[in-house]
Structure 1
């Protein structure tokens, strides 16, 4: 795996957000890959709760400045970067004043989902891909963590399917037991359809529940990892209907098992 390239895209990463199974796993597998000579890039949203001064975030002017279209609206993309202390690992932050300035992550003070979480997810997916294109950095593996990042596989396989930078990239989605109640905005599918993604490909997210968003990610991934010990029976059954590799939940030697899974997927090309 030395000198291979892995793009880690996560809705949460420590130390920038509190420690959870998802935020810790996303960090630890990236850290281990990096320590073994793998070239890594980590992307996450720049939520307003992240302390930019403490974590020494700074804007990358050469990467910022473009507008992303979300539901026929031009939304400015700001790219910030920081280095994880002691690890020499760079983390890229997708930022936009409208979507990510608020001092919260997914929910308001009443614990209700933000009404624009659907657009935030679209913006994040497009922002990651456009930034990687600007970096001209072709990843061997793209590893997705968290529902906020789960539109990325759909956009890579459809909206960016002609993009040569990702022709050889293998997409892995990790599934976690961290559901939200209810659904995102019911017009999510229409907003995705605006990007010329056909009805067949957006059928799964017509009802944008936690489970359906992950089903869409599964449909557009080349492999799946169980990031939590308990995954819903509905998702487990859905995966069984797909002819793709699955790494079951790892209780021991998580780091090596992930690296071996990456290597097997790359060698299957």
Structure 2
């Protein structure tokens, strides 16, 4: 029997970024799932603060070279890769000079939220899908974590659902207590539209707050994980009303086993679309 394939898409992964609740899970959950017999691929953004020499990142020429059009502008897609030797695990990085060369992650050195974080999120999400297509690696399940990955479920169910690589993929979205103040760019919803994604599909992010961006991810997910002890109560209520499978916060000692069982449960269910 062929191994199940799990695609991990993370906003943060240690050791490439300082350790946090999210970065820790981004690093150790894929390893744990791999050790349980699954095949994995892992992606994160190549933020400019990541030291390429120390972490031994190198460009994958055969995967790079595509342009993604966002808000009527071409942006070259560059793919890099590094290995975590102790885990026998590779990490793929989505890079672009316009979006990921700055020396900070989500905010500048004064703590100001980057005005183009909406486009950075779109580019990252689409970049992952296009790279996985080039790898010709069809995931059975996609696990994405952090608001920066919140478009993954939407793109899977609306933009890539007829692609053979993703036609049978399930998706689990994992939310954190990673709020940002204010909203993403007011035109975020407009920038996401395509031949397959309509204004109705993304009406919930007409006001793109952290809460609404997470709700959009819930709408198109097959399962939801709460990965922080303290999560927006409105999101808890929204998830409960959706009727979708939910896993609550689990301790660092238990999350690999708990999430592995949750993934198996999702994989056993029939594919769903909104």
Report the TM range for the smaller structure's normalisation: over 0.9
Alignment match, 2:170: 170
Alpha-carbon contact 1:2-1:38 (below 8 Å) kept: no
Partners of 1:223 and 1:2 lie apart in 2 by: 23
Partners of 1:69 and 1:116 lie apart in 2 by: 15
Alignment match, 1:50: 50
1:90-115 deviations in Å (ceiling 9; x for gaps): 10000000000010100112211111
Partners of 1:57 and 1:195 lie apart in 2 by: 35
Q: In the alignment, is residue 262 of structure 1 matched against residue 263 of structure 2? A: yes
Call closer, same or farther: CA 1:58–1:78 in 2, change over 3 Å.
Answer: same
Partners of 2:260 and 2:60 lie apart in 1 by: 30
Partners of 2:102 and 2:205 lie apart in 1 by: 26
Alpha-carbon contact 1:34-1:40 (below 8 Å) kept: yes
Structure 2 SS opposite 1:80: strand
Structure 2 SS opposite 1:105: coil
Partners of 1:168 and 1:67 lie apart in 2 by: 26
Alignment match, 1:11: 11
Alpha-carbon contact 1:223-1:244 (below 8 Å) kept: yes
Relative to the length of structure 2, the TM-score reads 0.95
Alignment match, 1:30: 30
1:146-201 deviations in Å (ceiling 9; x for gaps): 11111111111112222121111110001101111111111101111256511111
TM-aligned CA deviation for residue 134 of structure 1: 0.4
Alignment match, 1:238: 238
TM-aligned CA deviation for residue 2 of structure 1: 7.8
Structure 2 SS opposite 1:74: strand
Alpha-carbon contact 1:71-1:194 (below 8 Å) kept: no
In structure 2, the gaps of 5 or more residues are none
Aligned residues: 269
Call closer, same or farther: CA 1:132–1:183 in 2, change over 3 Å.
Answer: same
Alpha-carbon contact 2:190-2:199 (below 8 Å) kept: no
Relative to the length of structure 1, the TM-score reads 0.97
Partners of 1:49 and 1:107 lie apart in 2 by: 12
Alpha-carbon contact 1:61-1:79 (below 8 Å) kept: yes
